[in-house]
Amino acid sequence: MSFAVPTSLSPSRVDAFTSCPMAFRFASIEKLPEPPSPHATKGSLVHRALELLFTHPADERVGEVVEWSFRRAVDEYAVDPEFVLLGLDAAAAQAFVDDAWTLVQAYLRMEDPTRVRDIGLELRLEAQVGDLTLRGIIDRLELGPEGELIVTDYKTGRSPSLAYEQRRLGGVHFYSFLCESVLGQRPAAIRLMYLRSGETITAVPSEQSVRFITTRTTAVWKAVEKACTTGDFRPRQGPLCSSCAFQTWCPAFGGDPERARVEAPEAFGRLAAA
Ligand code: SF4
């Protein structure tokens, strides 16, 4: 069975394919629905609160404006299917909101938003590599002390282990490639702010690291094309399996991937209708 080859890739999709080609097939090639996850939804809510905070002039990003930004993000998410479909009861919903607020407060301990010279929020950038379109969304683009470009990415999950860090930074250099292609200037630094641990990992992109992105992405792209042509998307078992929405149809767990196309929308559609 062959599949249509997608025409664009984002850093998270590159990571998804390298983590497990079978899960990539379900999510990105067949585009099967997935139930929302509390972690991802909480991350989206915190990103939205910080985005709203940064829509205010720098000197106003304190006190009540922080609370207003957070409240507004919570109100938006209260009616968003990504949150509603989590099906949280009142106590769990309150714990969810409390934890999201904890992350916003943790952010405020990491930097002073009144001193940030932001020039772009939730910036959608895309660039061509051959026939392939690379797409990414930058949480925040700002100017450093010397007017240099700095990319900041908020992370609401745990900070990575050393082994995992390199792959995360691969995604980061992806953004520097996009910046250089679209804005004509390579960022001087890319900062990953891990709100949960309070750690910031800073990467300094170089010509070599940006070249590595085009080489790596082209290699992943060739592998995606081959898998689409042959239909051979292999399952790769690992830590992601425990939270994988497609385990029922995964051959590594005795499932039949051909049934997912019919059964996943039924299973997760029922969830949406509940
Ligand atoms: S259960 Fe594991 S091996 Fe199977 S598709 Fe999901 S992530 Fe891949």
What whole-number distance in Å separates Cα of residue 217 and Cα of residue 18? 11
CB 249 within 8 A of CB 263: yes
Per domain, the residue ranges of the chain are 1-30+119-229, 38-114
Q: Whose CA is nearest to atom 4 of ligand 1?
A: 250
Strand ranges, E, within the chain: 8-9, 117-129, 132-143, 149-155, 189-194, 199-203
Query: 102 CA distance to ligand 1 centroid (A)?
Result: 32
Q: For position 170, what pLDDT does the model report?
A: 59
Query: 250 CA distance to ligand 1 centroid (A)?
Result: 6
Whether 23 lines ligand 1, by a CB cut-off of 6 Å, is yes
Could you tell me the pLDDT band of residue 132, with boundaries at 50, 70 and 90?
confident
Whether 250 lines ligand 1, by a CB cut-off of 6 Å, is yes
* Residue to substitute in 26, 247, 259 for testing ligand 1 pocket (most ligand atoms within 8 angstroms of CB): 247
Using CA of residue 267, residue 242, residue 167, residue 192, what is the dihedral sign?
A: positive
Q: Which residue, 124, 119, 123, is CA-closest to 148?
A: 119
Could you tell me the pLDDT band of residue 166, with boundaries at 50, 70 and 90?
low
Could you tell me the pLDDT band of residue 163, with boundaries at 50, 70 and 90?
very low
pLDDT tens digits, one per residue of 5-44 = 888 888 788 888 999 999 999 999 998 888 888 999 999 9
- The model's pTM is 0.84
Q: For position 97, what pLDDT does the model report?
A: 97
State the closest ligand 1 atom to the C-alpha of 251, by its place in the atom list counted from 1.
4
Range of weakest confidence among 46-50, 149-153, 235-239, 267-271 = 267-271
* Residue to substitute in 250, 253, 256, 258 for testing ligand 1 pocket (most ligand atoms within 8 angstroms of CB): 250
Q: Work out the burial of residue 208: count CB atoms within 10 Å of its CB; fewer than 13 is exposed, 13-18 middle, 19 or more buried.
A: exposed
Q: For position 198, what pLDDT does the model report?
A: 92
> 11 is written with which tokens?
């850093």
Whether 237 lines ligand 1, by a CB cut-off of 6 Å, is yes
CB 186 within 8 A of CB 147: no
pLDDT tens digits, one per residue of 236-268 = 999 889 889 999 999 999 999 999 888 888 777
What whole-number distance in Å separates Cα of residue 265 and Cα of residue 242? 20
Q: For position 111, what pLDDT does the model report?
A: 96
Q: What percent of the chain has pLDDT over 70?
A: 93
Give 111's DSSP letter: -
What whole-number distance in Å separates Cα of residue 272 and Cα of residue 146? 50
Could you tell me the pLDDT band of residue 270, with boundaries at 50, 70 and 90?
low
Could you tell me the pLDDT band of residue 274, with boundaries at 50, 70 and 90?
very low
Mean pLDDT of 64-87: 94
- Token pair 């299917």 is at which residue? 81
Pairing of strands 8-9, 132-143: parallel
Mean pLDDT of 80-88: 90
CB count within 10 Å of CB 188 equals 17
Q: Work out the burial of residue 3: count CB atoms within 10 Å of its CB; fewer than 13 is exposed, 13-18 middle, 19 or more buried.
A: middle
State the closest ligand 1 atom to the C-alpha of 250, by its place in the atom list counted from 1.
4
pLDDT tens digits, one per residue of 201-226 = 888 888 888 788 788 888 888 899 99
Phi, psi of 65 (to 5 degrees): -70, -35
What whole-number distance in Å separates Cα of residue 51 and Cα of residue 70? 10
What whole-number distance in Å separates Cα of residue 157 and Cα of residue 134? 24
Distance from the first to the final alpha carbon of the chain:
34
What whole-number distance in Å separates Cα of residue 39 and Cα of residue 27? 18
> 134 is written with which tokens?
């690379």
State the closest ligand 1 atom to the C-alpha of 235, by its place in the atom list counted from 1.
3
